[in-house]
Amino acid sequence: MLCFAPRYPQAARALIGFSPWVAGAGLLAAGSIAAVVWWAVLPAIAASLRKRFFCRWLCPTGQCLDLLGEAGRRAGLRAPSCPRVGWWIALATLAGACFGYPLLLWLDPLALLAAPLTAARVPGSTALWYLLLPAAVGLAAVAAPGLWCARLCPLGGFQEFLFWAVRPWRWPAGQWLFRRRAEAGRPAAPTEPSSERGDGEATQHSVGRRVLLAGAAGAVCGWAIVRREASAHQAPLRPPGAVDERQFTGLCIRCGNCIAACPERILFAGGSAHGWAGLLAPQVRFDANYCREDCVRCTTACPSGAIRPVKKRDKVRALIGFPRVDMNVCILGEEGECTACARACPFEAIRYEFCETDYTTVPRIDPDRCPGCGACQLACPTEPKSIVVAAEHPRR
């Protein structure tokens, strides 16, 4: 699969669709679910029937890390003992997601694997950023074989939640209740394999303070982040259909799917210029192209719900930003002959208006027609551009 992925970038895109953790947190936080994520229902069902079924039989990241871990084991390296951080991450993120901001969703193992696959299609040095986290996890797998899968992976932790979720009789509270019933003569769980009983006891101990604390911390953080004041940094342009900027940085798992899906190559992995929270999240730049009125590919590619699905006919409602005109750069400001922006506008949102007092013509942009596709900015012949799309939109 790794060999095929660079050739078939859609393979990487499909990969993340199998993560029930991303699907679940996305559903909680954004209230919508992307088409690609419906695949996650299968591993979710599997994981609820057989514990960590996906981890053991399907997870490609696990396979890769296992191969790396094998090298570590041969070198005599052993994983240190470690609490089940994966549970905390999963629970904190889910709790945050309930308040709109899934804290650590970007630690999804499938996203970690997809990121380097899409890195090949990401221009310049940002590709290195995409490799950074996967490389760290890979190195850790050599140094501490099996640690990620067994203890750290939030998807693994989430699968265990799923397993317990359909077994209320094994909840700490339920156990007490169901045991009494079992004593009354009912078998507890006929399909349950006996070998897993040991884990069940571990659950009882571990689903205690620390996990609950993690959940509470996630909820508080998520609540605080979503309600924080707009950042001092001007928000960058996000892809059409992107959720609110305050949620976006949390929901985006940095898989690079949208960037790889964009046929116009206008999506780029963001730097830290707009704050560290948005690092590697997709940004729109209209340097070489604009967001086509008949394209919604990035919105269907997003597995986490950070970019909500948009229908083609609703493209005008998927806001990217709103153009601002600097009449001190605009050719019309010196009374030149230029109608490039109106000619390029696919939504026919720009018209020129004569201003009697200044005796000059200015471009006026209709907010109801303009989603900020950037066609005007691309067509603008001045340098620097006199019409530039900024993230604020009157309709937002």
| Least distance to another protein, CB of residue 342, Å | 8
Spell out the SS3 assignment of 224-264. HHHHCCCCCCCCCCCCCCECCHHHHHHHCCCCCHHHHHCCC
Counting contacts by CB under 8 A, is residue 392 touching another protein?
Answer: yes
Q: Which of residues 162 and 325 has its CB atom nearest to another protein in the complex?
A: 325
Q: How many CA atoms lie within 13 A of 389 on its CB side?
A: 31
Q: Which of residues 183 and 356 has its CB atom nearest to another protein in the complex?
A: 356
Q: Which of residues 135 and 355 has its CB atom nearest to another protein in the complex?
A: 355
| Least distance to another protein, CB of residue 219, Å | 30
Of 277, 200, 193, 268, nearest to 238 (Cα)?
268
Fill in the per-residue mask, 214 to 233: x = in contact with another protein (CB under 8 A), - = not in contact. Answer: ------------------x-
Q: Which of residues 45 and 327 has its CB atom nearest to another protein in the complex?
A: 327
Give the whole-angstrom CA distance, residue 224 versus residue 238.
22
Q: Which of residues 92 and 341 has its CB atom nearest to another protein in the complex?
A: 341
Task: Please report the DSSP string for 315-363 in residue order.
Answer: GGGS---EEEE-TTTSGGGGT----HHHHH-TT--EEEEEETTTTEEEE
Among 2, 82, 135, 355, interactor with another protein by CB under 8 A: 355
| CB 358 within 8 Å of CB 336 | no
Task: Identify the sign of the CA torsion 257, 258, 263, 268.
Answer: negative
Give the whole-angstrom CA distance, residue 257 versus residue 26.
15
Counting contacts by CB under 8 A, is residue 291 touching another protein?
Answer: no
Give the whole-angstrom CA distance, residue 305 versus residue 307.
5
Among 336, 366, 368, 369, interactor with another protein by CB under 8 A: 336
Q: Under 8 Å CB-to-CB from 210, ≥6 apart: which residues?
A: 83, 88
Counting contacts by CB under 8 A, is residue 264 touching another protein?
Answer: no
Q: Which stretch binds another protein (CB under 8 A): 247-255, 300-308, 312-320, 349-357?
A: 349-357
| CB 283 within 8 Å of CB 236 | yes
Counting contacts by CB under 8 A, is residue 361 touching another protein?
Answer: yes
Counting contacts by CB under 8 A, is residue 394 touching another protein?
Answer: yes
Fill in the per-residue mask, 294 to 333: x = in contact with another protein (CB under 8 A), - = not in contact. Answer: ----------------------------x-xxxxx-x-xx
Residue 381 burial class via C-beta count within 10 angstroms: exposed 0-12, middle 13-18, buried 19 and up = exposed
Counting contacts by CB under 8 A, is residue 358 touching another protein?
Answer: yes
Listed in sequence order, the DSSP H helices in 109-244 are 109-119, 126-143, 147, 154-165, 172-183, 197-206, 209-227
Among 317, 364, 368, 369, interactor with another protein by CB under 8 A: 364
Q: Which of residues 212 and 355 has its CB atom nearest to another protein in the complex?
A: 355
How many residues touch another protein under the rule CB under 8 A: the total is 37
Site residues (CB under 8 A) for another protein?
232, 234, 322, 324-328, 330, 332-337, 339-340, 342-343, 352, 354-356, 358-364, 367, 379, 388, 390, 392-394
